Chains A and B, each alone.
Chain A
Amino acid sequence: MPAVQETVERVKRIDVDQYRYGFETLIDSEKAPKGLSEEIVKFISQKKNDPAWMLQWRLEAYRRWLTMTEPTWARVEYPKIDFQDIYYYAAPKPKKAVSSLDEIDPEILKTYEKLGIPLREVAMLEGIEPKVGEEDPARRKIAVDAVFDSVSVATTFKAELKKAGVIFMPISEAIREHPELVQKYLGSVVPTSDNFYATLNSAVFSDGSFVYVPPGVRCPMELSTYFRINERNTGQFERTLIIADKGSYVSYLEGCTAPQRDENQLHAAVVELVALDDAEIKYSTVQNWYPGNSEGKGGIYNFVTKRGDCRGAHSKISWTQVETGSAITWKYPSCILRGDNSRGEFYSIAISNGFQQVDSGTKMIHLGKNTSSRIISKGIAAGKSQNTYRGLVTAHRKATGARNFTACDSLLIGDKCGAHTVPYIEAKNSSATFEHEATTSKISEDVLFYCIQRGLSQEEAVGLVVNGFVKDVLQQLPMEFAVEAQKLISISLEGSVG
């Protein structure tokens, strides 16, 4: 069955109010008291068995956070968040060190099974036709680190990765086991003082993933983290740190879901990537947090800081994101192109429907010589949503020969939504070459009628046109994610026409 039709089949089964991942898992959990104070920061630090330096780091961040105010420049609107009305830590009980999957609460394993996350080793991916010339994806392995509320519950394929010298583990473990690496790199891309939400995250982050790929190693499998918010009123503050040492390569995937809740939940993550000389990091996200119901009630506030540092010469960082969920998205995965001849890429599909608000884009900061960057952004707005692309491309005085190409395309479905493009371009030397292209279009009645006259239903027609619109970006995703993303896109647009 062609993918388009399959997506439509799925769409038919899913009402706009029936978020597929909206179930709740009934497990005992251990929570810190509501609100934030030095005591809570210490509580979290103690729960994580932090060494003393880590606690110090958190407390400094917390004190700094107290002096900061929330950013208001994004084109999003929401009632003021009461930061004392949030649980900053929730862990599934009983909390003990898990050394194998058998020790994990079977309810949690069931949750991941429902979500289709392969925690059992040898992840068999079903139903994907291999492309000619590529290895059979069914035999490809994906190592998964699953984060449930605040705690990392399982990391698969640890042994096999270890053989290759790749470290892939929850960051709380890395802090204890590889303090030299964590101390060297944590906060080196997104400093604790960076912005309101990143600083908050630095104080209270409870888990996330840590990856280190040693020099010259090509990571033997895709690495993946799956985030799940389960508890009511909890924030999720994960922290991810990926270091690709000289000449190494790693591809990392991230997926997220949450149960349906009437109240808004806060997600404030920080992701830091460091690529040394000749190293390459490919980071892909499929974000599908609960977007709220059809009246705009509930949903996740997704306030995320993601930044990569092309620290070495000839290094490369590539961000690919498919953003379909969250009530509010505030996210700008960026690249600091520090090393000479380094390259940054940003490929984005941001879809908003219902009352969703998206303010997302990227920053390409050219510091080294002959650095290049490429931005391909596809925004799709439907329903009563607002979808903004905000991007900064800047070349430092010494960044001679910097090159950027940006293409921002927006597609409107219906007449109650909005698409906005806010590009900032700064060239501080005359040898920089920046190109910017932007288009905004509407799915025209004529195009839909053409498809329908050929036998497609209205939904199939919209799915077909949208999948064509985002094709350039979908091609950047690892294949198994691309299939999932294509389905997600159609599901997200359910109820957007007619």
Chain B
Amino acid sequence: MALLEVKDLKVRVEEREILHGLSLTVNEGEVHAIMGPNGSGKSTLSHVIAGKPGYEVTDGQILFKGEDLLEMDPEERAAKGVFLAFQYPVEIPGVATMTFLRTALNAQRKARGESEYSTPDFLKKVREVSKSLNIPQDMLKRGVNVGFSGGEKKRNEVLQMALFEPALCILDEMDSGLDIDALRIAADGVNALRTPKRAMVVITHYQRLLNYIIPDFVHVMSRGRVVKSGDKQLALELEESGYAQFEEAA
């Protein structure tokens, strides 16, 4: 059974159809890159999988571990192991990152019927994880993403990914707003989280991120559909020839 199966998905925002029958299958341990020009529907796909309000699914299906994902509340999807690394992580003033992490992790564990972490156990875990990702302790004491640089925000996303141990990670334009050094650090963090069980969907406009996170499959989206799929070579071809050829094909 595939981990994630998107079948013939059609999605509207207000009156406009954005996805016109998109299909995608992701198995455990695979890394899929989704590329495409602006407005092709890449971010819409990530939002619909995560359950962001404002999107209307008019047709099609999304199965996650064989279950109907569209029937679940977004927090339920999170507890089942769907993680979205945001393109623009939000700031939450006055809420310490540590508090946020503990509240979220325990909410997920509770939803799964697991015991909640005690404060000392949680602290131990978060220290281990942040150390392995080279994240300084003082970042955990600051308000969630408040005054963080672009690179720090993305590292905070990676930290959450490491802590929540999701089965599926969707990285939405992870490279946006990062210089090359910050990109490398964030990508190293993601690579450290690759396991034979965990799948990743990497959404990006540019090929350069894929030099650091090497995908197993590359899909090209245009005008709300996947128009071509291949291996990592496809990304390099795109870098050469651009998206124009696919705009016409769509």
- A interface, CB within 8 angstroms of B: 1-2, 4-5, 444-447, 449-457, 460, 464-465, 467-472
**In the docked arrangement, what's the CA distance between A445 and B89, Å?**
13
Shortest Cβ distance from A466 into B: residue: B94
Chain B interfacial residues counted at CB < 8 A: 34
Q: Is B244 interfacial (CB 8 A cutoff)?
A: no
**In the docked arrangement, what's the CA distance between A224 and B169, Å?**
52
B107-A464 in contact (CB<8A):
no
Q: Which residues of A contact B116 (CB under 8 A)?
A: 1
B107-A457 in contact (CB<8A):
yes
A468-B78 in contact (CB<8A):
no
Other 13 A-B pairs with CB < 8 A, given A456-B103, A472-B94:
A2-B102, A4-B99, A5-B107, A446-B88, A450-B92, A451-B100, A452-B73, A453-B83, A454-B100, A455-B78, A455-B107, A468-B143, A469-B94
A5-B90 in contact (CB<8A):
no
B52-A449 in contact (CB<8A):
yes
Q: Is B196 interfacial (CB 8 A cutoff)?
A: no
Q: Which residues of B contact A446 (CB under 8 A)?
A: 88, 90
B103-A453 in contact (CB<8A):
no
Q: Is B192 interfacial (CB 8 A cutoff)?
A: no
Q: Which residues of B contact A444 (CB under 8 A)?
A: 90
A464-B95 in contact (CB<8A):
yes
B104-A451 in contact (CB<8A):
yes
Q: Is B84 interfacial (CB 8 A cutoff)?
A: yes
**In the docked arrangement, what's the CA distance between A1 and B110, Å?**
11
**In the docked arrangement, what's the CA distance between A465 and B78, Å?**
19
- B interface, CB within 8 angstroms of A: 50-54, 73-75, 78-79, 83-84, 86, 88-90, 92-95, 99-100, 102-108, 111, 116, 143, 160, 164
Shortest Cβ distance from B109 into A: residue: A455
Q: Which residues of B contact A445 (CB under 8 A)?
A: 53-54
From B54, B78, B99, contact of A453 by CB (8 A): B78
Known: A449-B52, A452-B78. A468 touches B106 (CB 8 A): no
Q: Which residues of A contact B52 (CB under 8 A)?
A: 449, 453
Q: Which residues of B contact A457 (CB under 8 A)?
A: 73, 75, 107
Known: A2-B103, A449-B53, A455-B108. A467 touches B89 (CB 8 A): no
**In the docked arrangement, what's the CA distance between A464 and B100, Å?**
8
Shortest Cβ distance from A441 into B: residue: B93
Q: Which residues of A contact B54 (CB under 8 A)?
A: 445
From A2, A450, A456, A470, contact of B90 by CB (8 A): A450
Known: A452-B74, A452-B78, A453-B78. A5 touches B89 (CB 8 A): no
Known: A454-B160, A455-B75, A468-B143. A460 touches B50 (CB 8 A): no
How many Å from the CB of B157 to the closest CB on chain A? 10
Q: Which residues of B contact A455 (CB under 8 A)?
A: 75, 78-79, 104-105, 107-108, 111, 164
Q: Which residues of B contact A449 (CB under 8 A)?
A: 52-53, 74
B103-A4 in contact (CB<8A):
yes
Q: Which residues of B contact A452 (CB under 8 A)?
A: 51, 73-75, 78
From A2, A450, A470, A472, contact of B99 by CB (8 A): A2
Q: Which residues of A contact B102 (CB under 8 A)?
A: 2
Known: A446-B90, A453-B84. A5 touches B106 (CB 8 A): yes
A5-B103 in contact (CB<8A):
yes
Q: Which residues of B contact A450 (CB under 8 A)?
A: 86, 89-90, 92
B78-A454 in contact (CB<8A):
yes
A469-B74 in contact (CB<8A):
no
Q: Which residues of A contact B75 (CB under 8 A)?
A: 452-453, 455-457
B160-A468 in contact (CB<8A):
no
How many Å from the CB of A460 to the closest CB on chain B? 6
Shortest Cβ distance from A458 into B: residue: B75
Q: Which residues of A contact B105 (CB under 8 A)?
A: 455
How many Å from the CB of B141 to the closest CB on chain A? 13
**In the docked arrangement, what's the CA distance between A453 and B160, Å?**
11
Shortest Cβ distance from A449 into B: residue: B52
Shortest Cβ distance from B77 into A: residue: A453
Shortest Cβ distance from B101 into A: residue: A454
How many Å from the CB of A136 to the closest CB on chain B? 18
A454-B104 in contact (CB<8A):
yes
22 sample A-B contacts, Cβ–Cβ < 8 Å, listed by A number: A4-B103, A5-B106, A5-B107, A446-B88, A449-B74, A450-B89, A450-B92, A451-B100, A451-B104, A453-B78, A454-B160, A455-B75, A456-B75, A456-B107, A464-B95, A465-B95, A467-B94, A467-B95, A468-B92, A469-B93, A471-B95, A472-B94
Q: Which residues of B contact A454 (CB under 8 A)?
A: 78, 100, 104, 107-108, 160, 164
Shortest Cβ distance from A409 into B: residue: B93
How many Å from the CB of B13 to the closest CB on chain A? 14
Q: Which residues of B contact A468 (CB under 8 A)?
A: 92-95, 143
**In the docked arrangement, what's the CA distance between A465 and B111, Å?**
21
**In the docked arrangement, what's the CA distance between A352 and B217, Å?**
52
Q: Which residues of B contact A467 (CB under 8 A)?
A: 94-95
Shortest Cβ distance from B91 into A: residue: A447
**In the docked arrangement, what's the CA distance between A198 and B145, Å?**
47
**In the docked arrangement, what's the CA distance between A446 and B104, Å?**
16
Known: A453-B78, A454-B160, A456-B75. A447 touches B103 (CB 8 A): no
A447-B107 in contact (CB<8A):
no
**In the docked arrangement, what's the CA distance between A449 and B172, Å?**
15
Q: Which residues of B contact A4 (CB under 8 A)?
A: 99, 103
**In the docked arrangement, what's the CA distance between A447 and B106, Å?**
19
Task: With a 10 A CB-CB cut-off, give which of B50, B103, B111, B164 has the most chain A CB atoms.
Answer: B103
Shortest Cβ distance from A470 into B: residue: B94
How many Å from the CB of A199 to the closest CB on chain B? 41
**In the docked arrangement, what's the CA distance between A451 and B79, Å?**
12
**In the docked arrangement, what's the CA distance between A469 and B94, Å?**
6
Q: Which 9 A-B pairs give the minimum distances between C-beta atoms? A: A468-B94, A468-B95, A455-B108, A454-B104, A471-B94, A455-B78, A455-B107, A450-B90, A447-B90
